[in-house]
Amino acid sequence: GGSIGSEMCRQLCNFNPKLLLLIEQAENPLFYVERELRKQFPNVPTTAIICNITDKMRVEEIFEKYKPQVVIHAAAHKHVPLMELNPGEAIKNNVVGTQIVADAADNYGTTNFVMISTDKAVNPTSLMGSSKRIAEIYIQDLSRTSKTHFVTVRFGNVLGSDGSVVPIFKKQIAEGGPLTITHPQMKRYFMTIPEASQLVLQAATMGKGGEIFVLDMGEPVKIVDLARELITLSGLRPGEDIEMVFTGPRPGEKLFEELSIKGEDMQPTRHPKIG
């Protein structure tokens, strides 16, 4: 039901899978995604499954019944400030949930397993980033002994995803402002939802097991520049029609994100936007 997971389902339907399993813990997003896919791709069999990935018995029941060949693990808590306030939930969902799903893939003969990660896992300063880094390490360690090809794909912010900065700014503009920005030097990497999803699927076909693929997101963008651009595109004047207010970095936030950890051996791949 998330932005990336939903888009990857749309793209996967173009390859006519024998069966597409949609696994989600929230029933409403799952209902709407399945409804959309059935309408757009009537010839692709889909099964909607309500499941919390921290429920080990339920996850194993699903894997035992369906024995999926490919698993794309996109479930995660992603909001840095919220996870600072709810550290146990960050660990439970992002670490324990990943362990449960990955172990099930290993035990039930999944061929390819792809975990979606984040640039916040690089030299993490937040609980969310730390939890994703632990998940990355677990996936890499499991790949050493498993017949399943476990890979991780790491990228930054996704434009227009639920709860991301662009929809928030648009709402603040519609309300007459102000736009709240944490710091004038804050920078982030951005990709569109379709591009990120497409590159994740392409990276999945490249992995032999244990790799962390990093997507090329271009140059980082200053959040304040993004705010000014959105105000201007709305036909308004930054600082005059719409004010911008700097609120200070929130707990766990960095001024800029990194893409690789010191000591990681970054190698090019056959795709120019995947490293």
Domains of the chain: 51-156+193-216 (3.40.50.720)
CA 133 to chain centre: 13
Give catalytic residues, as residue numbers: 120
Helix (H) or strand (E) holding 231: helix 223-233
Tokens representing 202? 């392409």
Residue % of the chain over a pLDDT of 70: 97
- Beta 46-50 vs 20-24: how paired, if at all? parallel
Q: Is 181 exposed, middle or buried (0-12, 13-18, 19+ CB in 10 A)?
A: buried
Give 67: exposed, middle or buried? Use CB within 10 Å, 0-12, 13-18, 19+: exposed
Q: Which residue has the tokens 């709240």?
A: 180
Task: Categorize the per-residue pLDDT at 256 as very low, low, confident or very high, splitting at 50, 70 and 90.
Answer: confident
Q: Which two tokens stand for residue 17?
A: 């899978």
Backbone angles phi, psi at 239, to 5 degrees: 80, -10
Distance of CA 162 to the CA centre of its chain: 11
pLDDT tier, 272 (very low <50, low <70, confident <90, very high otherwise): low
Q: What is the pLDDT of residues 132-185, one digit of tens each?
A: 999 999 999 999 999 999 999 998 888 877 778 999 999 999 999 999 999 999
- Tokens 């004010």 correspond to what residue? 243
Structure tokens of 158? 């996704």
Q: Report pLDDT digits (tens) over 25-79.
A: 999 999 999 999 999 999 999 999 999 999 999 999 999 999 999 999 999 999 9
Residue 257 has pLDDT above 80, yes or no: yes
pLDDT, position 39 = 97
Model pLDDT, residue 36: 97
pTM metric for this prediction = 0.89
As a dihedral over the C-alpha atoms of residue 154, residue 159, residue 160, residue 163, rounded to 10 degrees, the angle is 60
pLDDT tens readout for residues 104-141: 999 999 999 999 999 999 999 999 999 999 999 999 99
